Structure 1
Amino acid sequence: MRTHGWSGSAPSTDEEAVARILDAAGNAIDARGADFSITDVARTLGVTRQTVYRYFPSTDALLQASAQRAATGFLDRLAAHLQGVTEPDEAVAEGIATALEWLPEDKHIGLLLTPGRAGAFSQTVTSDVALQFANSMLRRFDVDWGARGFDDDDLDELAEHLLRIIQSFVIDPGRPPRRGPQLRAYLRRWVGAALTAEIAVEPTC
């Protein structure tokens, strides 16, 4: 790999270069959300834009990679928060409510789940990246989905439904917005109830 630039301290491998670019992009997202460019990142690192483009062909590609990198930490925190919640309706209601509460403080995951930057990832909340995130979220819950009768296709659909609910609350939180216990009661009644009904359905012979 090339060693020019990098403020006099060039990375020794391409993997290190990518990590340093993502670190710089992450700091820029923390400071300005999606309102940054390849030029900003290159200036921070002491390299040319062409150097950054060798690893990420566009600002949107860099945004996506940075958001996906942050997703693991978000999912780890959410799984820890929901540890011991084994009922599907309770887990999904609490998961959605907690995600909605954390999103304003996590600009990286906000970029992943809520369309806003023109052309970023996808103009729909159900982009492949967002669906993968939601599916990972469900599978980290302390719920034995298989024992409750949910297969992989069911979880794929549930992940999509979860994303659509999150998007609707982000776009229009309500007047006044539901928060805390009120939000959780609403989600248990209208989202959790669907899962409870699905579990209660006995297979026909």
Structure 2
Amino acid sequence: MRTHGWSGSAPASDDEAVARILAAAGKAIDERGAEISIADVARTLGVTRQTVYRYFPSTDALLVAAAVHAADDFLERVADHVRGMHDPVDAVTEAVATALEWLPKDKHIGLLIAPGRPNAHTESVTSDVALQFANSMVRRFDVDWAAHGFTDAELDELAEHLLRIIQSFVIDPGRPPRTGQALRDYLRRWVAGAIVPPATPR
């Protein structure tokens, strides 16, 4: 790890360097969304662009890493919000509605959820990361999925289904957009209402 730069205070390890780069990128995303560059982050840290490139090969890679870094806090807040909801329909309805309400205020998670990153490679990476995000969200619910008859494979499919629903609302919230109880009623009727215990294996 290079020790020059860093505004006179070099990180003690590569892990610390990555953490400081992600923190700087996070602040930049808060201010400007996805319209940041490696040069912006390097300037904030007092290092060269080449130093940042040692850890992140492109701006897209840095954006995804910063979004993933912020995702855990978002997921914990959603999980806290639905804690105590043991019914799958209740938990899914409230979690998806809450995520949709919070997403416009969270530029980091929007980078994971909203499709259409600038290039095909990043788009596929973001899709994989978004699926991991949805999987983590579902598994943090206060729901005993096994007791309701769901296998791990079926939970994977449920997470993918919910991600597709969330992405569709992000792309087009509706005219007019549904909010509050109207959004929850819609989700309960047409999304959560489809969550029934899987059929008994043949």
Matches within 5 A, 1:47-196: 47-119=47-119, 122-123=122-123, 127-195=127-195
Give the distance between the partners of 2:46 and 2:93, measured in 1 at CA.
46
**Alignment check: 8 A CA contact 1:126 1:163 kept:** no
Runs of 4+ in 1 over 4 A off after TM superposition: none
Give the aligned partner of residue 19 of structure 2.
19
Number of matched pairs: 202
Consecutive unaligned residues in structure 1, runs of 5 or more: none
CA distance in 2: counterparts of 1:204 and 1:81, whole angstroms: 34
Q: Deviations over 1:108-130 (max 9, x none)?
A: 00001112441287436981100
Give, in whole Å, the separation in 1 of the partners of 2:7 and 2:129.
Answer: 33
Q: Partner of 1:203 in structure 2?
A: 200
Instruction: Name structure 2 gaps, 5 residues minimum.
Output: none
Task: Report the AA paired with residue 203 of structure 1.
Answer: T
Note the alpha carbon deviations across 1:87-126, whole angstroms, 9 max, x for none: 1111111111000000011100000111244128743698
Equivalent-residue separation in structure 2 for 1:100 and 1:121 (angstroms): 26
TM-score normalised over the length of structure 2: 0.95
Secondary structure of 1:55's match? coil
Q: What's the secondary structure of 2:130's corresponding residue?
A: helix
Letter in 2 for 1:102: W
Helix, strand or coil at the partner of 1:123: helix
- Percent identity over the alignment is 72
After TM superposition, give the deviation of residue 53 of structure 1 in Å: 0.4
